[in-house]
Amino acid sequence: MSGQPPIAELGRRAKAAARVLALASTAAKDDALRAAADVLVERSPEILEANGQDVVTAEAAGTTATVVDRLRLTPARVSAMADGLRQVAALPDPVGEVVEGWTRPNGLVIEKVRVPLGVVAIIYENRPNVTSDAFGLCLKSGNAAFLRGSSAAIESNKAIAAALREGVAKAGLPEDALVLVEDTDHDTAIEFMRLRESIDCLIPRGGPSLIRSILEHATVPYVIDGDGNCHVYVDETADLDQAVDIIVNAKMQRPSVCNAAESLVVHEAVAAEFLPRAAAALEGVELVGDARAIDIIGADRVALASDDDFGREFLDLKLSVAVTPDLSAAIDHVNRFGSGHTEAILTRDLNAARRFTREVDAAAVIVNASTRFTDGEQFGFGAEIGISTQKLHARGPMGLRELTTCKYVITGEGQTRR
Amino acid sequence: MSGQPPIAELGRRAKAAARVLALASTAAKDDALRAAADVLVERSPEILEANGQDVVTAEAAGTTATVVDRLRLTPARVSAMADGLRQVAALPDPVGEVVEGWTRPNGLVIEKVRVPLGVVAIIYENRPNVTSDAFGLCLKSGNAAFLRGSSAAIESNKAIAAALREGVAKAGLPEDALVLVEDTDHDTAIEFMRLRESIDCLIPRGGPSLIRSILEHATVPYVIDGDGNCHVYVDETADLDQAVDIIVNAKMQRPSVCNAAESLVVHEAVAAEFLPRAAAALEGVELVGDARAIDIIGADRVALASDDDFGREFLDLKLSVAVTPDLSAAIDHVNRFGSGHTEAILTRDLNAARRFTREVDAAAVIVNASTRFTDGEQFGFGAEIGISTQKLHARGPMGLRELTTCKYVITGEGQTRR
């Protein structure tokens, strides 16, 4: 339907490009990123026109205003995409780093060298800027980007991909550094997840139904960018002024993102003092809580929370509240309901901080700061392809380094094994 | 049938034990390993008797002598298993290592800390020593071992697991540090691969049919210990005396293992001189080769190889031979037929070595040494749980460190995000 070759052939093209990119110098990759940025800006009119078609289609289909806003591009947004590529060009290249090296008693020299993964596949939803952002991170790390966006953004994605490919080719690298799958039907997505001969790593960026589909169907290796059901635990020795600022920031500063707090857990010793202040500061946030939270804050402000509420990532101005008898109960609560993303403790007690950071099982455990800091930019990685909530390969914010693997290079002088 | 609780309940027990093990001190884990080793030796009579039952069953079923030999335990083999546990106790503990750490401009301190994976599941075949070896590596790295061996070794595995569990309990750690699945039917294996709520990492140790089953059914994260179709490429500048020694070592020293060479690739400039010498030195090895290899060595010594031969891991005294016009063709051949395990170049030319190590896509690339060195012990890791041929998480020999993940610990003093 799209006029593109079959997906297996697209995969082979990406793989062939990946072989060239893996050996490209940092200078060549950076030139290609800057050239792609320039063409993106030059092609703004075509990109905005294509985006206009997607927006009209979305509005005609009755899509919500929030979703249409995510889809919509403006000259400023296209310009920001180009700036993003130039910023990635300025980051250090992870490829070729000798991570470690040693010499064995028999004289063999072993070096562990950072190399690109090869073809990085990404399945994503409506935001067209992901097409450019993902391409940039993949190219910088020596990988080909094999992208499958949503049907709602297909015209925008095609226009953006055409501009980026043109820029890469101008700079002398293979245009298949970015291969966009134009066929957005469900069966193609399943086929995509099973292209083991060409995909080295798949990063799904989407909701629970996409993750379920990956778990069920994917045979390619993948890294899951999962939910964030993040907790802020206010310990009995917490600085309560600070605690109010932190829960307000963690919940309200940007409620729609994965590192926003979804649950407040409070030690019973400070609940009576802290919770009414927190509830007042969280004006505009719907609260659901356990019986003790209701006793303290009042049933007019807090509704009774179910286990389902405690397990849910609201991604909205809604917060669950639990009161626990002690630190151990708080840790149990967090480990039971958390999604392994980010969990914070607010305390002045060193032993409490130590126990919480050791015993809570999550990608990021924070002491006395907002959960919103779990982020590639905030960590200083310069950019982020996602936040892994799995334990293998990458855990937490994934930057350029997480788009690489390592290879052992072993050098001898005729050694054989006895 | 086995009288054990359902597999989901076994998984919950392993998970509960893993929480305790993750916080156990190195001293406590080492004590448990030594206690387990002692009980293993004490229980030798029971273990050997149980193993005798497995051997009788296997022989009655007409199992080949090689396979029965893998299954059979002797007092010396039980003793070697115990020694293996004591050696693991003496290795450094990877848990708690601060892999890196830095301070952000806003004062947040970010540390990346090595932590256990949790529950490590292993599906394996006949060798009963894997029960003890895998348990030891998992315990040392703070993980619970959730093991599913083959039906052929079930009585041996039960006896070994009982001894190890008794040892761990004596030392004060939870006996569920080792949970053996006693039900060895196929449906249970599938259920095992899908226990996402309790398994943090699955390492399948088996042949292609197990790997296919994992790709098709597993929803838990896994690391594949795959085939080794390893090549030795003899470049035009190779030291040919050394090359004869290396190919003989790589092919013949232990042909049944994954890092043995399966294919010899020779630059045409030295093929006429090298191949007859190599063929003579490889006495007892069946050769299959391309037309040029046959021209040089003679059709009485080399049969014509198919693409299937070039792609096959023989695991036996059989070797494929190809003659290539140059280094580029050799690299293409290796990348086409290799399985991403170990590939060697023999050369005195620095640029050839550089190109081969950069352009060949494998876990280990070796210059002037035998492929047999891709091994956890040979790398100095002290022990090995397998050799990963995948690119995510771990690539190449997997030691204790590859049985861990990392957690970010972020410490602030009230920081919120703007």
Let me know if residue B25 belongs to a domain. Answer: yes
Write out chain B residues lying below 8 Å of A117, CB-based: 391-392
Segments in A223-267 forming alpha helices (H):
240-252
Whether A219 has its CB under 8 Å from any CB of chain B: the answer is yes
| Residues pairing with A320 in the sheet | A263, A288
Q: Between A196, A364, A410, which is nearest B410 by CB?
A: A364
Give the whole-angstrom CA distance, residue B348 versus residue A220.
38
Q: Looking at chain B, which residue has its C-alpha nearest residue A394?
A: B393
A185 in helix, strand or coil? coil
Q: Which residue has the tokens 């994503």?
A: A124
Let me know if residue B370 belongs to a domain. Answer: yes
Give the whole-angstrom CA distance, residue B331 versus residue B354.
12
What is the per-residue pLDDT for B2? 64
Q: Which residue range forms the structural domain that includes residue B107?
A: 7-226
C-alpha distance from A385 to closest chain B C-alpha (Å): 16
Q: What separation, in Å, do the N-terminal and C-terminal C-alpha atoms of chain B show?
A: 60
CB A105 within 8 A of CB A393: no
**CA angle (A388, A393, A396) in 5-degree steps:** 30
* A164 and A253 in a common domain: no
**Interface subset of B 245-284, CB within 8 angstroms of A:** 245-246, 248-250, 253
A168 in helix, strand or coil? helix
What is the per-residue pLDDT for A2? 64
* B157 and B15 in a common domain: yes
**Interface subset of A 324-383, CB within 8 angstroms of B:** 353, 357-359, 361-370, 372-374, 378-380
* Cα A163 to Cα A11, A31, A46, A155, distances in angstroms: 20, 15, 9, 13
Q: Residue B337 corresponds to which tokens in the numbers above?
A: 């037929």
> What confidence tens digit (pLDDT) does each residue in B224-233 have?
888 899 999 9
Write out chain B residues lying below 8 Å of A248, CB-based: 416
* B287 and B162 in a common domain: no
Q: Between A367, A393, A411, which is nearest B367 by CB?
A: A411
In chain B, the percentage of residues whose pLDDT exceeds 70 is 100
* B250 and B205 in a common domain: no
Which residues, at least 6 apart from A141, have a Cβ–Cβ distance to it below 8 Å? A93, A94, A95, A116, A117, A400, A401, A403, A404
CB contact under 8 A, A413 and B379: no
CB contact under 8 A, A391 and B118: yes
Give the whole-angstrom CA distance, residue B304 versus residue A202.
39
Give the whole-angstrom CA distance, residue B329 versus residue B290.
14
What is the per-residue pLDDT for A109? 98
What's the gap between Cα B99 and its chain centre? 24
Write out chain A residues lying below 8 Å of B413, CB-based: 368-369
Q: Which of B237, B304, B298 is nearest to B266 (CA)?
A: B237
> Of B199, B226, B253, which one is at a domain's C-terminal end?
B226
A40 in helix, strand or coil? helix
The torsion angles phi and psi of B120, rounded to 5 degrees, stand at -105, 120
C-alpha distance from A201 to closest chain B C-alpha (Å): 8
* B174 and B289 in a common domain: no
Let me know if residue B48 belongs to a domain. Answer: yes
Q: What separation, in Å, do the N-terminal and C-terminal C-alpha atoms of chain A show?
A: 60
Q: Which residue has the tokens 């005396």?
A: B241
Strand positions, DSSP E, A241-356: 261-267, 286-289, 302-304, 318-324, 342-346
- Please report how many Cα atoms fall inside a 13 Å half-sphere around the Cα of residue B157, on the Cβ side: 28
> Of B191, B226, B261, which one is at a domain's C-terminal end?
B226
Q: Between A117, A253, A391, which is nearest B417 by CB?
A: A253
Give the whole-angstrom CA distance, residue A10 versus residue B314.
33
* B172 and B272 in a common domain: no
CATH number at residue B210: 3.40.605.10
What's the gap between Cα A98 and its chain centre? 26
Which positions of chain A have pLDDT values less than 50? none
Q: Residue B118 corresponds to which tokens in the numbers above?
A: 């949790």
Q: What is the pTM of this model?
A: 0.94
* A242 and A104 in a common domain: no
* Cα B49 to Cα A233, B43, B44, B52, distances in angstroms: 54, 10, 8, 5
| Residues pairing with B178 in the sheet | B145
CATH number at residue B334: 3.40.309.10
Q: Give the mutation candidate from B99, B409, B413, B418 for the A interface (greatest A CB count, under 10 A).
A: B409
What is the per-residue pLDDT for A76? 96
Let me know if residue B343 belongs to a domain. Answer: yes
Whether A240 has its CB under 8 Å from any CB of chain B: the answer is no
* B240 and B188 in a common domain: no
Which residues, at least 6 apart from B97, have a Cβ–Cβ distance to it below 8 Å? B113, B114
CB A228 within 8 A of CB A363: no
**Interface subset of A 122-181, CB within 8 angstroms of B:** none
Q: Which of A145, A148, A156, A171 is nearest to A36 (CA)?
A: A171
C-alpha distance from B416 to closest chain A C-alpha (Å): 5
What is the per-residue pLDDT for A397? 96
* B188 and B264 in a common domain: no
For residue B363, how many other CB atoms are within 10 A of its CB? 25
Q: Give the mutation candidate from B410, B411, B413 for the A interface (greatest A CB count, under 10 A).
A: B410
* B69 and B18 in a common domain: yes
SS3 per-residue string spanning chain B: CCCCCCHHHHHHHHHHHHHHHHHCCHHHHHHHHHHHHHHHHHCHHHHHHHHHHHHHHHHHCCCCHHHHHHHCCCHHHHHHHHHHHHHHHHCCCCCCCEEEEEECCCCCEEEEEEEECCEEEEECCCCCHHHHHHHHHHHHCCCEEEEECCHHHHHHHHHHHHHHHHHHHHCCCCHHHEEECCCCCHHHHHHHCCCCCCCCEEEECCCHHHHHHHHHHCCCCECCCCCCCEEEEECCCCCHHHHHHHHHHHHHCCCCCCCCEEEEEEEHHHHHHHHHHHHHHCCCCEEEECHHHHHHHCCCCEEECCHHHHCCCCCCCEEEEEEECCHHHHHHHHHHHCCCCEEEEECCCHHHHHHHHHHCCCCEEEEEECHHHCCHHHHCCCCCCEEECCCCCCCEEECCHHHEEEEEEEEEEEECCC
Let me know if residue A392 belongs to a domain. Answer: no
A251 in helix, strand or coil? helix
What is the per-residue pLDDT for A402? 96
CB B114 within 8 A of CB B406: yes
What is the per-residue pLDDT for B176? 98
- pLDDT(B140) > 80: yes
CB A382 within 8 A of CB A400: yes
Give the whole-angstrom CA distance, residue B257 versus residue B373.
12
**Over residues B375-398, mean pLDDT:** 93
Q: Looking at chain B, which residue has its C-alpha nearest residue A244?
A: B414
> Of B351, B374, B397, which one is at a domain's C-terminal end?
B374
List % helix, strand, coil for chain A (3-state, nearest 5): 45, 20, 35
Write out chain B residues lying below 8 Å of A392, CB-based: 117, 201, 221, 223, 392-393, 405
* A322 and A258 in a common domain: yes
Give the whole-angstrom CA distance, residue B70 versus residue B153.
10
Q: Which residue has the tokens 């990877």?
A: B94
Residue A141, burial from CB neighbour count under 10 angstroms (0-12, 13-18, 19+): buried
Let me know if residue A364 belongs to a domain. Answer: yes
Q: Between A108, A219, A395, which is nearest B373 by CB?
A: A108
* B329 and B186 in a common domain: no
- pLDDT(B213) > 90: yes
ipTM over the 0.90 cut-off: yes
> What confidence tens digit (pLDDT) does each residue in B142-167 have?
999 999 999 999 999 999 999 999 99
Whether B16 has its CB under 8 Å from any CB of chain A: the answer is no
Q: Between B367, B380, B410, which is nearest A104 by CB?
A: B380
How many domains are there within chain B? 2
C-alpha distance from A58 to closest chain B C-alpha (Å): 32
What's the gap between Cα B164 and its chain centre? 22
Q: Give the mutation candidate from B391, B393, B398 for the A interface (greatest A CB count, under 10 A).
A: B391
What is the per-residue pLDDT for A314? 94
Let me know if residue B389 belongs to a domain. Answer: no
C-alpha distance from B1 to closest chain A C-alpha (Å): 29
Q: Between A221, A242, A369, which is nearest B391 by CB?
A: A221
Let me know if residue B301 belongs to a domain. Answer: yes
Whether A212 has its CB under 8 Å from any CB of chain B: the answer is no
> What confidence tens digit (pLDDT) does each residue in B241-273 have?
999 999 999 999 999 899 999 999 999 999 999
**Element spanning A90, H or E:** helix A75-90
Give the whole-angstrom CA distance, residue A396 versus residue B92.
26
What is the per-residue pLDDT for A357? 98
CA dihedral A155, A157, A160, A166 (to 10 degrees): -100
- Report which residue type is found at A278: A
